Structure 1
Amino acid sequence: MLKQNLQQKLLQKLSPQQIQFIKLLQVPTVSLDTRIKEELEENPALEDMSLTNLNEPEEQYPDRDPDDDNYSNDEEHGEMDEFNIDDYLQEDNVNEYGSRYDQNGDDEEDRKEMPLAIQSSFFESLQAQLDMLPLSDKDFVIGKQIIGSLDDDGYLRRPIMSLTDDLAFSQNVMAEDEEVEDMLRIIQGFDPAGVGARSLQECLLIQLRKKDQTDPIIKKAMLVVEEYLDEFTRKHYDKLERSLNMNSEELRAVVSEILKLNPKPGDTNEVNTKQLQVIPDFHIKNSDGTLILTLNAKNAPELRVSRSYQEMFQHYDKASQKDKKLKEAVQFVKQKLDSAKWFIDAIKQRQQTLLKTMNAIMQYQYEFFLTGDDKNLKPMILKDIADRIGMDISTVSRVANSKYVQTEHGTYLLKSFFSEAIQTESGEEVSNKEVKKILEEHIGKEDKRHPLADEKLTEILKDAGYNIARRTVAKYREQMNIPVARLRKEV
C-alpha cells in the first residue's frame, strides 16, 4: 500500500564554492598551472596578470568570508537592480596577493614549466623498425598486427591462432599460423631485446641469444634459463651448483649475467617523464636552528577579475533603460564575475590551508626537520594535525596525500611523516618509522648468503627494546618492499 507523508530532514550539503575548494586543495603544484589555465580558458572574466602588461593601477579584491550571506546568496536576491557594482571595482595592490608567498627567491625562469624531451613511444619505435624491412604487403600487415597486439611490457600474450583470426576478420588477410610465427621471430629480433616474447623464459633467452655465444658463462646462463628457471627464481643456489657441476664463483657470474637482463622490455622506452617530475609545494630552510617555511611561488598565481567585465557593470549602472536583453547580458556577466571571484578566493583559501597544515606538521616534527634523522620522527596521525589547526581530518588527508616538502635533507611526501606509535619496554612511545629504519639497517648489513629471517629480525628488535610480533615485522618489511629472506639470498 502506497502512502504519502511529509518529513523534515536536516542535511549537510556542500556549496559549489566548497566543492571547488576541495578539488583545488588536492591538486599538487605540478598540476595547478594546468588547472588554472583551464579556468582561464573557460572564464573570460578571469585574467592572469603575469601574461598581461598593464600600466594602469592593478586591482585586487579583498578576502571575503564564504559563509557571508552577501557573498553566497546573490542569486537569491532575484532583482538585477540589487547588483553592488562597487564590489567589482575596488582597487588595491594586486601584486601583493600574487607575490606575498614568493619568499623563496624563485625567479621567472623557475615559474616556467620544465621542457620535456620529445621521444618516440615503445610502439612507434617498433613500427619504425618494421618500416625499414623489405617485406611483402602481407608480411607487413602481419607484423603490424603483431606489434599492435603486444602488451605495454613488450610481451605477446595472445595465442597465434587468435592473431590469425584477427587478420582474417579485421584485415581480410588469410595467413597461416606458420607465417605469423615467422613474422613474430623477426619482430623478436627488434630492439629492445626481448620484445615479442610469450613468457619470461622466452624473453630472457631472446636477450641471451644476442650475446656472445662463445662465452661459457653465457652458455651456462642459457642452460639455467632453459632448464632450471624455477630453481633460479626461488634462489635454490645449492641445487644449481650440484645440478650444473659449478662452483660458487661460476654460479655467481651466471647469476650476475641473468640479473642484467630486462624482464619487461616494453617498459624501457615507455617512461612518462612528466609523471616522474616532482615539484615541491613547500620549502623548509634551517637558519641557525630556526626553521623557515615558505610556499612554492607557483601556488600564488597573479589572478584578477577582468577590467572589461567590470566596465560592463558600470555601463549597466548608468543605463537609463534596462530591457530584457540587457538584463540577460548582465546576468551572464555577473555569473562570470562571480565565478572568477570564487576561483580567486578558492586559490587564496588553498594557499592559507596549505601553509597552516604544513606549519603544524613542521612544528610537530621539528627535530626531524632539523636533523633529517628518521629516528627523530614522532608518532603522528591525521587527527593530531587536524586538532592543531581546527580543521577536518579529511582536509589534512587531502593535503598530505599529494603534496611534497623540500628540506636540506631531501624532498618528502607529507604522507610519509604520519606514522603509528609503538611502545618500547621502557614505556616510551616511538614512531614505527624508527622501527622500519632499524629493520632496514639490519637487513642492509646482513650476510646475503645467509639473510635474516623475520623471526631473527623480531629477536633483534626485542633485544633493542621494541617488543613487536613477527607478523608486524613481516608487515613493515613488505611496506618497505623488501622481499622475504629466501629471495634476498645471494651467492
Structure 2
Amino acid sequence: MLKQTLQQKLLQKLSPQQIQFIKLLQVPTVSLDTRIKEELEENPALEDGSLANMNEPIEDYPDKDPDEQFNSEESSFDEEFSVDEYIQEDDYKDYGGNYNGDDDEERKEIPIAIQDSFFEKLQNQLDLLALSDKNYLIGQQIIGSLDDDGYLRRPIPSLVDDLSFSQNTFVEESEVEDMLKVIQEFDPPGIGARDLQECLLIQLKKKDQENPTIVLATRVVEDYLEEFTKKHYDKIEKQLGVNSEELKDIINEILKLNPKPGDSGAVAGKQLHVIPDFHISNNDGVLHLTLNGRNAPELRVSKSYQEMFEHYEKVEKSDKKMKEAVQFVKQKLDSAKWFIDAIKQRQQTLLKTMNAIMEYQYEYFLTGDDRVLKPMILKDIADRIDMDISTVSRVANSKYVQTEFGTFLLKSFFSEAIQTDSGEEVSNKEVKKILEECIANEDKRKPLADEKLTEILKDKGYSIARRTVAKYREAMNIPVARLRKEL
C-alpha cells in the first residue's frame, strides 16, 4: 500500500569547497606540483602568479577545518548544488600518482639509466640460442609465465594447454621440462625454479663442485632445508658429522644465495622520492619550523577573465548563447577562487598542525632520542589546534618532516601511553627502543626469548605482558629468538 509521509532529517552535506580542501590536504608535496599543473591546464581563469607581476594585495584566509560544516552565510556563491553533481562536473583526479617534476631550473634531477626489463633480458638470452621454432615458442611461453621474483609457479600441464590453445602448438610435457632446464641455465642464476629448494640448488650447482663446503651446502638444501630454515643447527651437525665452525661456513655459503633471483631485474630503475613537507632546524636550542616552498605556489585569478565577466554582465542577456557564456565564465572564475582559497587554507593547516606536533614533542626534536618521545594521539593535537581528529590524520598520514637527524613521516611521532611502576606515563616507542637495544646486544648463540625480554623490562620499571612484548617485537619485524640464533 502506497502512502505519503512527512519526515524531518538532519544531514551534514559537504560543500564543494570542503571537498576540494580535503583532497588537497591529503596530497603530499611530491604530488602537489602535478595537481596544480592539472588545475592550470583545466581552468583558463587560473594563472601562475610567478609568471606575471602581481600588484594586487594578498588576502588573509582564516584557518578552516574541512571536517566542520562551513557557515552558509560566509559563502559568496549564489547557487547550491549537490556533492554528486559537483564531483561529476569537476571529475576529481586520483592524487596518488607519481611526481612528474616541475620547470624549476635550479632543481637537478637524478638521471635514471634506461635498462632492459627482467623479462627482456631473458628474451635476449633466448634469442641467442639455436632452437627449433617449436622449442622457441615453448621458451617464450615459459618466460612469459614466470613471476616477477623469477619463479615458475604454473604447472607444466597448464603450460602444455596454453601452448595448444594460444599458439596452436601441441607439445609433450617432457619437451617443456627439457626447455625449462635450458632456461634455468640463464642469468641471473636460479631463474625458472618452481620452489625455493630448486632455486637454491640451481645456484649451488653453478658453483665449484670440488669445494667440500659447496658439496655439503648442496646436501643441506636437498635433505635438511626445513631444519635449516628453523635453525635447528644441532640436528644438522649430527647428520653431517661436522663441527660448529664447519657448519658456520656451510650456512654462510647458503646465505649468499638469492632466494628471489627476479627481484634485481624486476625493480631495476625504480626510485622512491621522499620530499619533506616541513623542515625543523635547531638554532642554539630554539627550534625553527618552515614549510617546503613548493606548498606555497603563487596563483592568481586571470584579469582577462574578470574583465570578460564584467563585460558580459553589462551586456543584454536575452540571447541564450550569451547566458551560457556568462555562466561558463562565472563557473571558471568561481573554480579558480575555490582552488586558491583551498591552497592557502592547506598551507595554514599544515603549519598549524606541524607546529603543534613540534611544541608537543619539543625535547625529541632537540635531541632525536626516541626515549624522550611523549605519548601522543591524534586527539591531543586536534584539541590543541581546535580541529577535527580526521583533519590531523590526513596531515599525519601523508606528510614528512626533515630534521637534523633524519626525515620522518609525521605518523611515526604518534604513540600510545604505557604506565611505569612509578606511575609515570611514557610512550610505547620508548619500550620498543629498549627492546631493540636488548636484542641488538644479545648473545646471538643464545638469543633472548620473549619471557626473558619481559623480565628485563620489568626490572627497568615497565610492567607489560609477554604477549605485548611479542606484539612490539613483531611490529619492529624482529623474528622470534629461535630464528635469531647464529653460530
TM-score (ref. length: structure 1): 0.88
Aligned to 1:164: 160
Q: CA deviation at 1:124?
A: 2.6
Take 1:423 and 1:475, find their aligned partners in 2: how far apart are those partners? Answer: 17
Sequence identity, in percent? 77
* Equivalent residue pairs, number: 459
Alignment of 1:354-365 (within 5 A): 354-365=350-361
Take 1:226 and 1:425, find their aligned partners in 2: how far apart are those partners? Answer: 52
* Counterpart code for 2:6: L
Aligned to 1:153: 149
CA contact (8 A) 1:63 1:345 kept: no
Find the residue that maps to 1:269 and give its secondary structure.
helix
Aligned to 1:38: 38
Find the residue that maps to 1:13 and give its secondary structure.
coil
Q: CA deviation at 1:109?
A: 5.1
Q: CA deviation at 1:76?
A: 5.0
Residues 1:348 and 2:352 aligned together? no
CA contact (8 A) 1:380 1:419 kept: yes
Q: 1:463 aligns with which of 455, 459, 464?
A: 459
Take 2:15 and 2:107, find their aligned partners in 1: how far apart are those partners? Answer: 32
Residues 1:129 and 2:100 aligned together? no
Q: 1:48 to 1:274 in 2, by over 3 A?
A: farther
Q: 1:74 aligns with which of 78, 81, 102?
A: 78
Take 2:140 and 2:163, find their aligned partners in 1: how far apart are those partners? Answer: 10
Q: CA deviation at 1:46?
A: 2.2
Q: Give the CA RMSD over aligned residues.
A: 2.2
Q: CA deviation digits over 1:47-100, x for unaligned, max 9?
A: 3344x4x3x5455763557646464533259xxxxxxxxxxxxxxxxxxxxxxx
Residues 1:377 and 2:373 aligned together? yes
Alignment of 1:435-454 (within 5 A): 435-454=431-450
Aligned to 1:228: 224
Structure 2: gaps spanning 5 or more residues: 63-69, 82-102
CA contact (8 A) 1:305 1:341 kept: yes
Q: 1:193 to 1:456 in 2, by over 3 A?
A: same
Residues 1:430 and 2:426 aligned together? yes
Q: CA deviation at 1:116?
A: 3.8
Take 1:141 and 1:111, find their aligned partners in 2: how far apart are those partners? Answer: 48
Please say which of residues 159-168 and 131-140 is displaced more in the overlay: 131-140
Aligned to 2:20: 20
Structure 1: gaps spanning 5 or more residues: 78-106
Q: CA deviation at 1:326?
A: 1.6
CA contact (8 A) 1:21 1:346 kept: yes
Q: CA deviation digits over 1:135-171, x for unaligned, max 9?
A: 3322222222112211122111110000110111111
Q: 1:195 aligns with which of 188, 191, 194?
A: 191
Q: CA deviation at 1:174?
A: 1.3
Q: 1:123 to 1:39 in 2, by over 3 A?
A: farther
Alignment of 1:42-441 (within 5 A): 42-50=42-50, 52=51, 54=52, 56-57=53-54, 59=56, 62-63=59-60, 67=71, 69=73, 71-76=75-80, 108=104, 111=107, 114-271=110-267, 276-319=272-315, 323-441=319-437
Find the residue that maps to 2:288 and give its secondary structure.
strand
Take 1:260 and 1:19, find their aligned partners in 2: how far apart are those partners? Answer: 52
CA contact (8 A) 1:421 1:431 kept: yes
* Counterpart code for 1:240: I
CA contact (8 A) 1:60 1:304 kept: no
* Counterpart code for 2:425: E
Take 2:295 and 2:110, find their aligned partners in 1: how far apart are those partners? Answer: 16
Take 1:64 and 1:458, find their aligned partners in 2: how far apart are those partners? Answer: 52
Please say which of residues 271-280 and 295-304 is displaced more in the overlay: 271-280
* Counterpart code for 1:12: Q
TM-score (ref. length: structure 2): 0.89
Take 2:110 and 2:43, find their aligned partners in 1: how far apart are those partners? Answer: 26
Q: CA deviation at 1:40?
A: 2.4
* Counterpart code for 1:62: E
Take 1:454 and 1:143, find their aligned partners in 2: how far apart are those partners? Answer: 50
Please say which of residues 390-399 and 314-323 is displaced more in the overlay: 314-323
Q: CA deviation at 1:114?
A: 4.9
CA contact (8 A) 2:115 2:268 kept: no
Find the residue that maps to 1:263 and give its secondary structure.
coil
CA contact (8 A) 2:400 2:408 kept: yes
Take 1:272 and 1:19, find their aligned partners in 2: how far apart are those partners? Answer: 38
Take 1:6 and 1:282, find their aligned partners in 2: how far apart are those partners? Answer: 52
Q: CA deviation at 1:28?
A: 1.4
Please say which of residues 391-400 and 36-45 is displaced more in the overlay: 36-45
Find the residue that maps to 1:75 and give its secondary structure.
coil
Q: CA deviation digits over 1:14-35, x for unaligned, max 9?
A: 1122112111111111122222
Take 1:342 and 1:248, find their aligned partners in 2: how far apart are those partners? Answer: 71
Q: 2:479 aligns with which of 457, 477, 483?
A: 483
Q: 1:69 to 1:280 in 2, by over 3 A?
A: same
Take 2:332 and 2:112, find their aligned partners in 1: how far apart are those partners? Answer: 34
Q: CA deviation digits over 1:191-236, x for unaligned, max 9?
A: 2221211000011111112222222211111111111000000000
Q: 1:210 to 1:460 in 2, by over 3 A?
A: same
CA contact (8 A) 2:61 2:344 kept: no
Q: CA deviation digits over 1:333-353, x for unaligned, max 9?
A: 221221122112111111111
Q: CA deviation digits over 1:339-397, x for unaligned, max 9?
A: 12211211111111111111000000000000000111000011000100111111111
Q: 1:110 to 1:295 in 2, by over 3 A?
A: farther
Take 2:363 and 2:412, find their aligned partners in 1: how far apart are those partners? Answer: 15
Find the residue that maps to 1:134 and give its secondary structure.
coil
Q: CA deviation digits over 1:417-471, x for unaligned, max 9?
A: 1111111111111111000000000100001010000000000000111111100
* Counterpart code for 2:29: T
Take 1:297 and 1:456, find their aligned partners in 2: how far apart are those partners? Answer: 50
Find the residue that maps to 2:215 and give its secondary structure.
helix
CA contact (8 A) 1:295 1:355 kept: yes
